[in-house]
Amino acid sequence: MSRTLNTTPAADGFRMPAEYAPHAGCWMLWPERPDNWRDDARPAQRAFAAVAGAIAGFEPVTIGVSSRQFELARTQIPAAVRLVELSSNDAWMRDVGPTFVVDGRGGRRGIDWRFNAWGGLDGGLYFPWDEDDLVARKVLEIERADRYRATLVSEGGAIHVDGEGTLLVTEQCVLNRNRNPGLSREQLEAEFRAWLGVEAVIWLGEGVFNDETDGHIDNLACFVRPGEVALTWTDARRDPQFRISRDAWERLHDARDARGRRLKVHKLPMPGPLRMSAREARGVHARDGAKARRAGERLAGSYVNFYIANRGVVVPLLDARTDRGALKRIAALFPGRKVVGVPAREILLGGGNIHCITQQVPAAGESPPP
């Protein structure tokens, strides 16, 4: 039902719409691996279920789960959420799921990026990742959407688009030798033009400090509408994040988008700094082949890692000292949407946040033609 195409989306008149364009729904996965999620993933499962419930208030949500956990998951997630069997190596639907593209005339297809667990055997986070690499294909089958099998190694969290021709990425991730060695910046830009239907690429430098994805853009900055970007921020000059965010701010300040606009940058003060506690680290069952979790390790917490739903925004709550301010700022950035906070430290402990565990299905034909 899902044909695999040998062309590229741009050649076929398709392009990736922005996350703030209308959605048909949202996909997630169910966390279970005890070598990444403490206490046999039960606290993370509660957090994922709460995220799914919050998003389900705005649009249909489907969660993929292994055969082993199907019945348990069904008791844990809200009735409004659809549950389907879908094996994976972990639970990062943003990165292993398809990136949907539309043609503005009712067509919707998916890009199935090559996936190597954020770096393969050169700094990747676990081995094997064979089930992960099939997730996009399985989602596209269920969605009855045709599939582009990208030649590029990439993840959904490595790319943000404004829906009007502009792509936002980080050099740390996209130029990393553990993704697509041998491709130059110019070649990668050409690839993204072909796959995402974009015209201009804005390169930031590093991602959030100690972000184990090699600095995914979706934890650092995102478009909130065409011409406007939210950026995680700190004014603490001695914090390692300060230099990173200031560099990103300068690059954004100097950039022009695909339409030639200057960008307006909204600073979102970061939580913390947050660290993994000894108790949290003890709850993870360390295992060869998966990243170790150590007490005291700096967590790459960021409020930018939210999910934009139909008429809503679902935001991670990470620090009682800063949560309220973050919600207020994000609400101001999205006047037409209801902003909902969900406690998300348990997701952060596993290496990402709400944006990382979700993948939107854009409404077919809803995006204005380019």
With tokens 């970007």, the residue in question is 229
- DSSP notation for 235-254: --TTSHHHHHHHHHHHHHHH
We find the least distance from the C-beta atom of residue 365 to a copy of itself, in angstroms, to be 21
Residues 168, 37: Cα–Cα separation, whole Å? 30
Q: Examine residue 332 and tell whether it contacts a copy of itself (CB under 8 A).
A: no
Residue 253 token pair: 């300040």
How many CB atoms neighbour CB 11 within 10 A? 10
Pairing of strands 23-29, 359-362: antiparallel
Nearest to 87 by CA among 158, 29, 3, 47: 29
With tokens 């690059």, the residue in question is 251
Q: Report 22-61 residues binding a copy of itself (CB under 8 A).
A: 60
Residues 5, 24, 72, 134: which binds a copy of itself (CB under 8 A)?
A: 134
Among this protein's residues, is 222 annotated catalytic? no
Q: Examine residue 131 and tell whether it contacts a copy of itself (CB under 8 A).
A: yes
Residue 199 token pair: 């015209």
Residues 71, 122, 235, 247: which binds a copy of itself (CB under 8 A)?
A: 71
Please identify, using beta-carbon distances, which residue of 76 and 176 lies nearer to a copy of itself.
76
Angle among Cα 37, 43, 46 to the nearest 5 degrees reads 120
Q: Examine residue 62 and tell whether it contacts a copy of itself (CB under 8 A).
A: yes
- Cβ–Cβ < 8 Å for 287, 293: no
Q: Examine residue 121 and tell whether it contacts a copy of itself (CB under 8 A).
A: no
Residues 10, 13, 34, 82: which binds a copy of itself (CB under 8 A)?
A: 82
Binders of a copy of itself: how many residues, by CB under 8 A?
25
Q: Examine residue 85 and tell whether it contacts a copy of itself (CB under 8 A).
A: yes
Residues 3, 185, 256, 259: which binds a copy of itself (CB under 8 A)?
A: 3
Q: Classify 254 as helix, strand or coil.
A: helix
Show the binding pattern over residues 140-169: x = contacts a copy of itself (CB under 8 A), - = does not: -xx-x-------------------------
Q: Which helix (H) or strand (E) holds 112?
A: strand 108-114
Going by the DSSP 8-state scheme, the letter that residue 284 receives in this structure is: S
Please identify, using beta-carbon distances, which residue of 60 and 365 lies nearer to a copy of itself.
60
Q: Which stretch binds a copy of itself (CB under 8 A): 83-91, 252-260, 288-296, 362-370?
A: 83-91
The contact set with a copy of itself (CB under 8 A) reads 1-3, 60, 62, 67, 70-71, 74, 79-87, 131, 134, 137-138, 141-142, 144
Enzyme catalytic residues: 356
